[in-house]
Amino acid sequence: MSKLKPMTPGVPGSARMRAYLMGAVVTAAIAGVGMRAWALQVDDGDRYRALAERQHAMLVDIPAPRGDVLDARGRPLAVSADADSVWANPREVHDVAGTAEKLAAMLGQDASVLEAKLAGDRRFVWLERHVSADVAKAVRDAKLPGIEVAKEPRRWYPGKNVGGTVIGRADIDGKGLDGIELALDDLLAGKRQAVRAVRDARGHSMLSEGLSASEPGATVHLSLDRTIQAIAEQAVADTVTTNKAKSGVAVVIEIETGRVLALASYPTYDPNSGHVPEGARDKPVTDAYEAGSVMKVFSIATALEAGVVTPDTEFPIGNAFKVGPKSITDVHFFPYLTVAGIIKHSSNIGAAHVALRLGADKLYEGYKRFGFGAKTGIELPGEQVGMLRNGDKWREVELATMSYGYGLTVTPLQITAALAAIGNQGIYHEPRIVDSVVDADGTVIYQAKGEAHRVLSQKVADEMLPILASVFDKGKEGGTAKLIDVPGFKCGGKTGTAYKYDPATHHYATDHYLASFAGLAPIDHPRLAIVVQTDDPTGGTHYGGDVSGPAFATIASESLRYLGVPGEKLIPRDAEGHPLIKMDPWGTPLVDAQGNWIPVNPPKPAPKPVVAAPEPAPEPPPVDDAPADAITVPDFRGMGVQHALDLARESKVDVEIAGTGRVTAQDPPPGKVAGPVHVKLQFSVEHR
């Protein structure tokens, strides 16, 4: 048997043995490395990946861009734009004290506050949010270890204080606090996500994914018209200032649709500032009042609808009318007035006669049909229901006072929507301020439907228009708005002056009033329903026609011209505003045979004589059914938490708090109720 030849002939056996041994060692080493790699990558892979993630990556929580809020013509009311913010990874800060000192000079902060933030063991902390471009550049140029600048969305309100109380505001983290921002917060907020930050080769942090991870919120299209809103706000601000009033509101509704074109409140605020003055809230929605004589419009319309009177039905007026223990009076004496004349001259006695003929049940049902005593459902937070007791509980004297606005409370929005129904041939549209909501991908996720129902026959609605127009009649027998001119248009409306109830004395105050004007413009083909209310005017006159009437005229005239509604030729005036035409003693313009204005040189204005104001000031009967041990519930609306708690403690009233911010609603409402009392207070910011 032959011997096997070696695979490497000519190589000594010892060399071959060394080669085999070296191969075995290398093979063993490779096997060992493989086993170690398996252990690192498979057996302990999760643990080491977590360690690497902790060492090299972090999550930076950045809010999503909120959706835009646009007006009826697509103009921006609230938008989100990128802003620079400064943050830190304290683990990367080597010189805490020195870094804090340098940042304090750039950010305008206290160095000790910054040092406390930088001394922690966290991997992410905000140092200053929404800094200016100059500050951001200075921080970047400083190249301080562990200090970074990132972009995040910031909320901007281009119109500043225009619509401030309606649009509301969002906080620095993009959470809605008031108004539309609060009501539609879930839709506007978008999808908030954490953005991954990693270290680069030099150990510096950077955002690896940018801001694209966040999903922006939906876009909200409002019915609010920025121009009409500005017109209304300026008119209300001028009225409050001129008449030294506490506050004022105005509502403008498009009659054919119920779309709200303006919701003005004074005082208001600029959401950009972050400061909300005391009493600045969306009063047309959140505040309810005893409105006074403007309610005669709806009590008379209800009586006409019931067929118990016609516009020509006459009632005796005289000096006073006794109902139960109370005497109802008017400012002006009339032996008789028709139903139309009751509105024209704002007769409390006449309204009481009509109500007594109509009856409590029918008047109550009429008020309910017009929407009083119920929420309108407008897409805004804090809407008040108002107070309307069931008609079967009214005493005879309450039936009388209800007909001219005492004993029930209503919001300015409710009045405007009800008035719009009369101008819309008796069809009531639920007022809406949101037209639609469109998602980020263009999908319409909400579309206002504008529910409508009939509250009056077209016949009665048509009968009401000339009655309302007569309130503007000039001359000796003119209506309560005879001194009001709406430049270029003929309008109809109703004045209102209400004494305010004083919960401290349990009586109506004799020197505190609510002055109102509610009207349709123009009256021949109504396009707009407008209500102006001025709270507590102290500038020398307090009647609705004198105080709120001029604001109505301004809003009506300027809004109609802005909308392109044809009007009459304006009365020519000189530089000081005096008419350049002849007038009769009652302010009626004189024209020539061809109907043209006759210009004249105006005389120097004489001092205005003191004339008795045309709006009746009723003797409001106190309606007090409360027991002897009744407790007075204060008006908490508009107060902050601490203020509300202090007042509750002083008034010995137990309160239940829901949310933070300012009180937007309370139950029960202000007034006397049987004790013990437990009041629920709803604040503007809800806890989530």
Residue 681 to residue 661: CA distance in whole angstroms = 11
Contact partners, residue 19, CB within 8 Å, separation at least 6: none
Q: Which of the pair, 227 or 618, is modelled with greater confidence? A: 227
Share of the chain above pLDDT 70, in %: 79
Residue 633 to residue 141: CA distance in whole angstroms = 60
Backbone angles phi, psi at 637, to 5 degrees: -60, 135
Please report the pLDDT score of residue 594 as a whole number.
44
Please report the pLDDT score of residue 113 as a whole number.
85
For the stretch 195-236, pLDDT in tens is 555 555 444 555 444 444 568 899 999 999 999 999 999 999
How is residue 484 written in tokens? 């009001």
Give whichever of 103-112, 426-435, 626-635 has the largest mean pLDDT.
Answer: 426-435
Please work out, in degrees rounded to the nearest 5, the angle formed at the alpha carbon of residue 512 by the alpha carbons of 510 and 518: 115
305 pLDDT above the threshold of 50: yes
Please report the pLDDT score of residue 239 as a whole number.
96
Peptide bond preceding 145: is omega within 30 degrees of 0, i.e. cis?
no
Cβ atoms of residues 633 and 647 within 8 Å = no
Neighbours of 482 (CB within 10 A): 21
282 pLDDT above the threshold of 90: yes
Residue 486 to residue 262: CA distance in whole angstroms = 19
Q: Name 247's bridge partners.
A: 535
Contact partners, residue 13, CB within 8 Å, separation at least 6: 6
Q: Name 263's bridge partners.
A: 251
CATH ID of 631-685, from 3.30.10.20, 3.40.640.10, 3.40.50.360, 3.20.20.70: 3.30.10.20
Active-site residue, 293 included: yes
Residue 519 to residue 523: CA distance in whole angstroms = 9
Q: Which of the pair, 348 or 583, is modelled with greater confidence? A: 348
Cβ atoms of residues 103 and 144 within 8 Å = yes
CA distances from 501 to 41, 114, 294, 409, 514 (A): 80, 53, 17, 11, 10
Q: Which among 349, 386, 348, 353 has a CA at the least distance from the CA of 367?
A: 386
Neighbours of 256 (CB within 10 A): 16
CATH ID of 226-271+280-562, from 3.40.710.10, 3.40.50.300, 3.20.20.330, 1.10.10.10: 3.40.710.10
Domain boundaries, the chain: 59-221, 226-271+280-562, 631-685
322 pLDDT above the threshold of 70: yes
Please report the pLDDT score of residue 5 as a whole number.
55
60 pLDDT above the threshold of 70: no
Catalytic annotation, pick one of 214, 223, 247, 293:
293
HSE-CB for 605 with a 13 A CA cutoff: 9
How is residue 259 written in tokens? 């779309």
Give whichever of 28-37, 95-104, 211-220, 595-604 has the largest mean pLDDT.
Answer: 95-104
SS3 for 497-527, per residue?
EEEEEECCCCEEEEEEEEEEEEEEECCCCCC
417: left (phi over 0), alpha (psi -120 to 50) or beta: alpha
Q: Name 533's bridge partners.
A: 249, 516
Please report the pLDDT score of residue 211 as a whole number.
44
64 pLDDT above the threshold of 80: no
Q: Name 444's bridge partners.
A: 438
Cβ atoms of residues 294 and 675 within 8 Å = no
Q: Which among 89, 195, 86 has a CA at the least distance from the CA of 130?
A: 86
According to DSSP, residue 602 is labeled P
Give whichever of 26-40, 230-244, 581-595 has the largest mean pLDDT.
Answer: 230-244
CA distances from 489 to 119, 419, 424, 480, 494 (A): 70, 18, 18, 18, 16
DSSP 53-99: HHHHEEEEEEPPPPPPEE-TTS-EEEEEEEEEEEEE-GGG-S-HHHH
CA distances from 100 to 104, 116, 634 (A): 6, 9, 49
Please report the pLDDT score of residue 209 as a whole number.
45
629 pLDDT above the threshold of 70: no
pTM: 0.74
Q: pLDDT band for position 668 (50/70/90)?
A: confident
For the stretch 1-59, pLDDT in tens is 455 555 556 667 676 677 667 777 777 777 777 777 666 666 666 665 554 555 455 55
Please report the pLDDT score of residue 344 as a whole number.
96
Look up the CATH superfamily of 59-221.
Penicillin-binding protein 2a (Domain 2) (3.90.1310.10)
For the stretch 389-441, pLDDT in tens is 999 989 999 999 999 999 999 999 999 999 999 999 999 999 999 999 999 88
C-alpha Rg value of the chain to the nearest Å = 36
